[in-house]
Amino acid sequence: MTLEIIATNLSDAKKAEAYGADRLELSPGMLETGITPSYGLIDSVVKTVNIPFNAIIRPHSQSFIYNEDDLTVMKKDIQMVKKLGADGIVIGALTNDYLIDEEILKQLLHEAEGLDVTFHRAFDFARDQEEALECLVNYPQVKRILTAGGAQPAPQATQKIRQLIRLAENTHLEIMAGFGLREDNFKEFYNETKPNEVHFGSGVRQNESYLHPIDGSKVNNVKVMMKE
C-alpha cells in the first residue's frame, strides 16, 4: 500500500520522507488547491529527497479548463520537470462540457514520455466519473487517478470509491483515494474501501491547515495503521 503526502516546500518533503511517506506530490499554493512548483523547489527536492515525487502541473487555480496559452505554459513546465529529474507529474484537464479534455491530455502526455503520471482531482469534477474513467483507460501513460469519489471529502463517498476501484480492476489504472483523509478517520475509511494507494494533505499537518507544517507524528501514525 502506498502513502502519498502533499509537500508544499522543501521542509515538507524532507519531513514527509523522514516519517514514512512512500511518494510525494509536490504542490505549493495549496490554499489555491495547488499550482506548479518553481524550478528552485523541484531542483532542491530532487537533490535532497530519495523517495519518488510527482510535481503538479497547474498554471493557475481558476479552473481545470485550459486554453492554448495555458497549454503552452504546461508543456514547458513538463519539460522543466523532466530536465530537473523529478519522477513524474500530476495533471488533469476538462472541457467546457466537463469531459476529460483529451486534446490537451494527449499533448501533455507527449511531453511527459518516461514520467510517472497521476490524473488529479479534475476527475472529481467531470460530469460523469465512470465515463471519465473509461476515457482514461485508453491512456496507458496515466498510472493512477486521484479521487475523493466526487467533490465532497473522500470519507463521505466510500461507496463511490469502492465502485471506482471495482471499475478499475483489470485495467492499468490505480485508484488513489484522497481529500479529507485524517488520522482519526483513516482506519474506518480504509476498512470500507481498501484502496492500494492513499493521499494525504492537510490531514497530516499541524492544526490540519496548509498554513502550518507537516506533523511527522500524524504521518507516522497513518503509516502504522496501513500496516495493521
Percent of the chain surpassing pLDDT 70 = 100
For residue 214, the 8-state DSSP code is B
Give the total residue count for the chain: 228
Q: What is the pLDDT of residue 227?
A: 87
Residue 165 pLDDT level (bands cut at 50, 70, 90): very high
CA–chain centroid gap for 160, Å, is 18
Residue 199 in grid coordinates: 493521499
Q: Which amino acid is at 114?
A: G
CATH number at residue 15: 3.20.20.380
Backbone angles phi, psi at 178, to 5 degrees: -165, 170
Number of domains in the chain: 1
Over residues 179-219, the pLDDT tens digits come to 999 999 999 999 999 999 999 999 999 999 999 999 999 99
Map residue 6 onto helix, strand or coil. strand
pTM: 0.96
Please report how many Cα atoms fall inside a 13 Å half-sphere around the Cα of residue 219, on the Cβ side. Answer: 28
Q: Which residues pair with 197 in a beta bridge?
A: 2, 176
Between the two ends of the chain, the Cα-to-Cα distance in Å is 11
Q: At what angle do helices 129-136 and 158-168 cross, to 10 degrees?
A: 30
Over residues 22-34, the pLDDT tens digits come to 999 999 999 998 9
Per DSSP bridges, beta strands 88-91 and 23-26 are unpaired
Least trusted range by pLDDT, from 16-20, 31-35, 105-109, 155-159: 31-35
Residue 182 lies in domain: 2-227
Q: In terms of C-beta distances under 8 Å and separation of at least 24 residues, what long-range contacts does 59-64 make, across chains too?
A: 59/35, 60/35, 61/29, 61/32, 61/33, 61/34, 61/35, 63/94, 64/92, 64/93, 64/94, 64/122, 64/125
